[in-house]
Amino acid sequence: MLIKIKQPHDIPSSEITPESVYRARRGFLQGMGVAGAGLLAGPALGQEASRVSAQDNPAQALNLASKPDWLTAQMAARKPAPEEGLFTVSDTLTPFEDVTTYNNFYEFGTDKADPSRNARDFKIDPWTVEVTGEVAKKGTYTLEDILKPHTLEERIYRLRCVEAWSMVIPWVGFPLADLIQRFEPTSDARYVEFITLVDRDQMPGQRSRFGTIDWPYREGLRMDEAMHPLTLMAVGVYGDVLPAQNGAPLRLVVPWKYGFKSIKSIVRINFRSTMPNNTWRDLQPNEYGFYANVNPAVSHPRWSQASERRLPSSLFMPQRIDTLPFNGYAEAVADLYADMDLRRFY
């Protein structure tokens, strides 16, 4: 389960899997299904039971190594998730423990448990985001500059990983569209590119000499996807600041796409006239396309996407469910791709 970085001074990042990593991870998961059955066995908790308050969990376990007071106060004033509508689902929430200990974040390691283990001292204060490209208001903004003008809100979304497992997560954040409008994109801005932090001191996965990833991790959206009401800039989960392993302090959530599109720990937003190359498309273009829309009718070259394993699950209680087109959000987003061949533009 090793990933190769080309050179220490080279820069592009990650979140899904080349074949060697996938096979190694699959063995890990199969072993975990037996050895970890006690940890993951049993049906998912009901929504109320699984709405664990982040305050009931030690900060160290949450990996909130630096939690600014102003952000804590802004989080406390968030709008609760709606009872129904586009921004919530009726599915049972994935328990807090699974959300924060079963993660793909290769900057911290390739095992699912590596990010929660290796991010304990990760600092989000100070943090800045550079805004570049086809916008009127270029510049470098502090995290407080980015967040303070926005009212945070909770949204409950499905998360579907390309590896065919899924979660249901109560995110806290604000519409990406609201942030984009503040930067005043020009008429030439057709795509938005996002770039993850490179910090080899804090992110041990970036120090590996045996991988294939050029850091930093890069992702992108077409402008109409970025401006869609479902697209969320997330800063929290389960009512508290994002743990490091979940992408602190700022991550994207695009619920109708595979999880690798929801880039973590963002430090740069670049507005472009041309389509950016995202990290996994660079690595394996025949397996990971730019659009990455959840599509049960189009298999990954190495596994079916027709169903998924809803966490928590175990060898004896696999929680296998059918995958929905666009992850269940087809009514809201399918028109974005009305004239596209989704087998070609995968």
- Domain of residue 110 covers 19-337
- Domain assignment present for residue 332? The answer is yes
- Domain assignment present for residue 36? The answer is yes
Secondary structure (H, E, C), the chain: CCCECCCCCCCCCCCCCCHHHHHHHHHHHHHHHHHCHHHHCCCCCCHHHHCCCHHHCCHHHHCCCCCCHHHHHHHHCCECCCCCCCCCCCCCCCCHHHHHHCCCCHHHCCCCCHHHHHCCCCCCCCCEEEEEECECCCEEEEHHHHHCCCCCEEEEEEEECCCCEEEEEEEEEEEHHHHHHHHCECCCCCEEEEEECCCCCCCHHHHCECCCCCCCCEEEEEHHHHCCCCCEEEEEECCEECCHHHCCCCEEECCCECHHHCCCCEEEEEEECCCCCCHHHHHCCCCCCCCCECCCCCCECCECCCEEEECCCCCCCCCEEECCHHHHCHHHHHHHHCCCCCCCCC
Whichever domain contains 306, its CATH number is 3.90.420.10
Quick one: pLDDT at residue 61?
56
- Domain assignment present for residue 4? The answer is no
- Mean of pLDDT values over 70-90: 96
- Domain assignment present for residue 1? The answer is no
How many structural domains comprise the chain? Answer: 1
**163-220: pLDDT as tens digits:** 999 999 999 999 999 999 999 999 999 999 999 999 999 999 999 887 789 999 999 9
Among 69-73, 175-179, 266-270, which is the least confidently predicted range? 69-73
Confidence band (pLDDT; 50, 70, 90) for 8?
very low
- Domain assignment present for residue 85? The answer is yes
- Domain assignment present for residue 103? The answer is yes
